[in-house]
Structure 1
Amino acid sequence: MRRRGFRIPAFRAFAAGQPTRSARHALRCALWAALALLACGHAYAQRTPALPLHCADLAGVVIPPAVIGLPTGGALVQTATMIPATATGNQNGDYCRITGVIRPQTAGTPDIRFELNLPSRWNGRALQFGGGGYNGVVVTGTGPVPFSPDRAPLARGYATFGDDSGHIGDSSEASFGLLDEAVTNFGYAHLKKAHDTALALILRGYGRAPQYMYFAGGSTGGREGYTVIQRYPDDYDGVIANAPALNFSGVRLLGVEVGQDEYRVPGGFVPPHLLERVYARVLAACDALDGVADGLVSDVEACRAKEPEIIGSLRCSLQDPVNTQNCLTPPQLATLEKLRDGLRLPYPLAWNVETYHGYNVFQGTRFTSGLGLAHSPQRLPQLEFIANGYLFAQGDAYVKYFVTHDPTFDSSNFDVEHPGRYQQRLVTLSTTIGAMNPDIARYLSHGGKLITLQGLADEVISPNQTIAYYNSLIARYGEPRVDSFMRLYMVPGYQHGNGVFIPSVDLLGALDDWVARGVAPETLVMTDLTEASNGRTRPLCRYPGFARYVGKGNVNRASSFVCATSSLTSP
């Protein structure tokens, strides 16, 4: 097993202009050790102890700005407490819980609050957790990786850490968008600042750097995972980035347009019972295309071929324009088709991105969830996620606070395609908050690995946007090279945290096997956590594969399925 250390061959490789992966790691550790020595005044000659060194003594430690790779006012450890394995509710064993703040440069900008956990039985690895929504809450790092059925990483010996991205509020609170440094922190800077602060403290606690540094997150945390690959490729050995909000500006602007179709266009609102009718009609047409009627639309491409037929069966008859209770009128169809078609801009955002790929509206996505479309036929004075719809409410907040800096601005009148004086602001924001840069050459040369999982029925982050970015990597680097570092898994029936199939699979174990032992993940087995079908298993197939029933055997067991691909062309 590879170990990091201060080996002369590493420096020889750099001097010769041939920085191998191990050389990069060795030099990185040497530099960090030197910085940490200066910052903490501690000798690191001894080997890793059984427990973090002097946990309580870490309280009050100051990390100078020079140790952090982006401009800050330095960091301060506020508390350092040893949590015993016997503590009530603790399932993570003995660990040192460290909390602190990273100071901003601009007056009035909130601190970045962070938490770091140093287990007494350290496995030599560190894991940074991503956040969700607009963040605003400290990610403690004491829980499991999303979709993982096993113990939390901390209980498995990982040093774990997370932060709040530099502001306080729940995941829907966007008012921090009025503060430029807070926006930069949310977009990318908090990731580097928290990473460097945590690494300095890990060095102080254990006397050596982690052998492997990982990142794991979903949604906003998924975007953050791709962000660290694109911006800080030498800092990470492996990343789990699920349902990533890669095109953050795109999804917000699409939400604005969908809201306009629902609330500005007469008759554009689609009530919940009609959304359920769309879903039921899709299941009737597409559920059995994978060989079994199990409530899952697995062969999305074959279902897409049936879309004209599905829409035709839902469209209101011209001969009976009055009876519209169980059919879709032209304005209602236009709303759903906007969701399906996505965003098309006449100007480019960062990295020449002009589109946000639409959703699988007619391929099994259920928009009646709490994160779906509006559930109230009137626009309320204050937008609410359930009443007005998640996409519209989030888009409205984005326009108010991030784009126009006017909390009273009415986004229903915002011209997304012709934003006038706000166009440059949109471009700037898409650079700051977004992970659409296809240039990941440094992460590839560094040997980093990436696993992404997402639901094909995701109603918040379009699975087709994730697939499109994946395909752009293949177009840029070729399929063999992308296969050498990335795995993309798409889950039928899974939405954005809910759905008719909620997968449970040990992605962290798969990532660690790939990074540390060179065992690349292929088909995995996932267990369904949905209450109605809890315990059934399916193969988790690499995209573009999906699970097809073999025609015999228990339909609730993965062994009765094989990974297949549709004969139809991807979107």
Structure 2
Amino acid sequence: MALPSSFKHSTVVMTAALLAACGGGTDTDTTAAKTSAAAAAEARPRNCDALAGRTVPAAAIGLPTGGATVTSVTTVASDDRAAAYCQVLGSIAAAPSDAAGTPEIRFQLNLPLVWNGKAVQMGGAGYNGTVVDATAAIPFAPGATPLSQGYATYGSDSGHTGALSSAEFALNEASLTNFGYAHIKKTHDAAFALIRQYYLRAPVRSYFAGGSTGGREGMTAVQRYPRDYDGVIANAPALNFTGVRLHGVRIGQAAYGTPGGFVNRAKQLLIRSTVLAQCDADDGVADGLVGNVAACRVKSGAILAALRCPSGADEGDTCLSDPQIATVRAIADDLELPYALAHGVTRHQGYNILQGADFSNTMGSSATPVAPPTVPANGYMFSQGDGYLKYFIAKDAALNTLQFNLANPGTLQQRLVDMSATVGATNPDIDTFRARGGKLIVLHGLADEIISPNATIAYYQGQVAKYGQSKVEDFFRFYTVPGFGHSVGAFSPSWAALDALDQWVEKGTPPGTLVATDVTAATAGRTRPLCKYPAYPRYNGGDVNAAASFACVVN
């Protein structure tokens, strides 16, 4: 294997290169992986075309596969040398033991010409189904892209093709397992083998970053593959995935299983305006978002009373009938189960619809369910819960989910439990990640209408109960954002997530209160502090659009 004359190498780097060429690999804990990032940046990679047709043997991937193959390479040129990179597309074949027809895992790996010696695996969204090209910003943390900062980046389609909201792929058990957790490891190992082949060395740091499904994938990486990552950013993580979907079914049953239960968009807007009237100023300023969510939660009963039509019947769009109030309660209240899902979980925490979360575009437009339910007609929560029960659980497209007994699922109960382990990240045991120095940053919007922030809060509180606050602070930082929904909201933060993580991992500098810049069109440019849970930003006076005018306080 010829090296460019300008390549400066050591015995350690050469050893890593030879191992990679032979199909072996080195863990990020090895001496090679701990070589300084500065030395890595000096490395001169080979021509992008050298990776064309390259393969990664199945033995180099930590879970059963048929090996990986590079399907195409493209040199992405730029006048700015730092912006140029080698784009690698590849596929990971199904293992011989997988069922016939199991799709391959398709992935993209981006190898910057000016490499900082580090790698970031990027998570997906929804049910995935399209390759994460890993060229964009971290979800729920818009700003500089990891690729533009010199990181090698990569992502996959999680092992199937299809729309983000389509659950039919789960009829294939191997595809379902790939989506749940296996694609994370398979893609990581294939990408690392190719990184070694290209740069002739392993990354000095390995990170994972994602939001929503990608956040769940990040937490899955912490729980299942802790030795593969030095740090993880997991934003709005769908930790209790089964709980989310069952909660969606309960919402659908309340909206459509009871006459008059559907809450139209006008009434959803009424709910939010009523909440803002009672809670907006609780953080010291009326700015269109609920900052002090805890204080607002105390007012839930009064808010529901203010929303209720005096007669209890539907009197028009100025109030909610009793069946519509029941639907709101189905959203807001915890879903409690008389049986335990994986890791002893018996509930899915409710949503902050009575604390400012905007559900006006989440409930759908139709007062009657279509068959099958769709996102536009019947809302995201119910349509996705319906698909989950039909394809992940019952394997029966004709299942009537409006009649499904959530408390007593009968013969499907064990399947629900099993799936909550396969597609979920509720395992409280992250001792290995913590012990080896891994760092975790999690952010969740308090107005999230898709993934309840209260489930993430419950997981964090469980970590505090397990380790104690001081030990949790050593490896886990959790930020909550008032007004932030599921990627959009009254306040949508742009913040330097990867910089904060890298500084913590590389220099031991833990993130404290951070500053976020709003990218919501109507209020773009204002800044707020990102407060560590359980603090919230309280206005102290001064420029209402400046983070310096707020302090992070705890009720």
Q: How would you bin the TM-score normalised by the shorter chain? A: over 0.9
Q: Which residue of 1 aligns with 2:477?
A: 487
Name the SS for the 2:408 alignment partner: coil
- Residue type of the alignment partner of 1:425: R
- Residue type of the alignment partner of 2:217: E
CA–CA distance in structure 1, aligned partners of residues 447 and 213 of structure 2: 18
- Asked whether the 8 Å contact 1:451–1:488 carries over to 2, the reply is yes
CA 333–77 in structure 1, closer or farther in 2 if over 3 Å, else same: same
Name the SS for the 1:39 alignment partner: coil
Q: How does 1:306-321 map to 2 (within 5 A)?
A: 306-318=299-311, 321=313
Q: Which residue of 2 aligns with 1:404?
A: 394
Deviations 1:47-83 (A, max 9, x none): 8565422321211111111000000011101112221
- Residue type of the alignment partner of 1:93: A
CA 201–536 in structure 1, closer or farther in 2 if over 3 Å, else same: same
| Count of residues in Structure 1 that have an aligned counterpart in Structure 2 | 532
TM-score, normalised relative to structure 1: 0.90
Q: How does 1:114-513 map to 2 (within 5 A)?
A: 114-318=107-311, 321=313, 323-369=315-361, 372-513=362-503
Q: Which segments of 5 or more consecutive residues in structure 1 lack a partner in the other structure?
A: 8-28, 567-571
CA–CA distance in structure 1, aligned partners of residues 44 and 11 of structure 2: 23
CA 462–553 in structure 1, closer or farther in 2 if over 3 Å, else same: same
- Residue type of the alignment partner of 1:349: L
- Residue type of the alignment partner of 2:554: T
- Asked whether the 8 Å contact 2:143–2:494 carries over to 1, the reply is no
CA–CA distance in structure 1, aligned partners of residues 302 and 394 of structure 2: 42
Name the SS for the 1:489 alignment partner: strand
- Residue type of the alignment partner of 1:216: A
Q: Percent identity?
A: 52
- Asked whether the 8 Å contact 1:91–1:155 carries over to 2, the reply is no
CA–CA distance in structure 1, aligned partners of residues 357 and 313 of structure 2: 27
CA 322–439 in structure 1, closer or farther in 2 if over 3 Å, else same: closer
Deviations 1:375-403 (A, max 9, x none): 21111234221220101000011011111
Q: Which residue of 1 aligns with 2:5?
A: none
Q: Which residue of 2 aligns with 1:518?
A: 508
Match of 2:22 among 38, 49, 63: 38
- Residue type of the alignment partner of 2:77: P
CA–CA distance in structure 1, aligned partners of residues 473 and 231 of structure 2: 14
Name the SS for the 2:363 alignment partner: coil
Deviations 1:214-245 (A, max 9, x none): 00000000000000000000100000000000
- Residue type of the alignment partner of 1:37: A
The reply to whether residue 562 of structure 1 matches residue 551 of structure 2 is yes
- Asked whether the 8 Å contact 1:50–1:120 carries over to 2, the reply is no
CA 146–414 in structure 1, closer or farther in 2 if over 3 Å, else same: same
TM-score, normalised relative to structure 2: 0.92
CA 341–321 in structure 1, closer or farther in 2 if over 3 Å, else same: closer
- Asked whether the 8 Å contact 1:52–1:119 carries over to 2, the reply is no
What's the CA shift for 1:166?
Answer: 0.1
CA–CA distance in structure 2, aligned partners of residues 304 and 6 of structure 1: 61
- Asked whether the 8 Å contact 1:187–1:434 carries over to 2, the reply is yes
Deviations 1:117-158 (A, max 9, x none): 111110011000000000001001111122445431111110
What's the CA shift for 1:252?
Answer: 0.4
What's the CA shift for 1:174?
Answer: 1.0
Name the SS for the 2:22 alignment partner: helix
CA 34–352 in structure 1, closer or farther in 2 if over 3 Å, else same: farther
| Worse-superposed segment, 255-264 or 213-222 | 255-264
CA–CA distance in structure 1, aligned partners of residues 11 and 499 of structure 2: 28
CA–CA distance in structure 1, aligned partners of residues 109 and 387 of structure 2: 31
Q: What's the Cα RMSD here? A: 2.1
CA–CA distance in structure 2, aligned partners of residues 112 and 278 of structure 1: 43
What's the CA shift for 1:31?
Answer: 10
What's the CA shift for 1:32?
Answer: 7.0
- Residue type of the alignment partner of 2:293: V
- Asked whether the 8 Å contact 1:129–1:141 carries over to 2, the reply is yes
- Asked whether the 8 Å contact 1:112–1:167 carries over to 2, the reply is yes
Q: Which residue of 2 aligns with 1:108?
A: 101
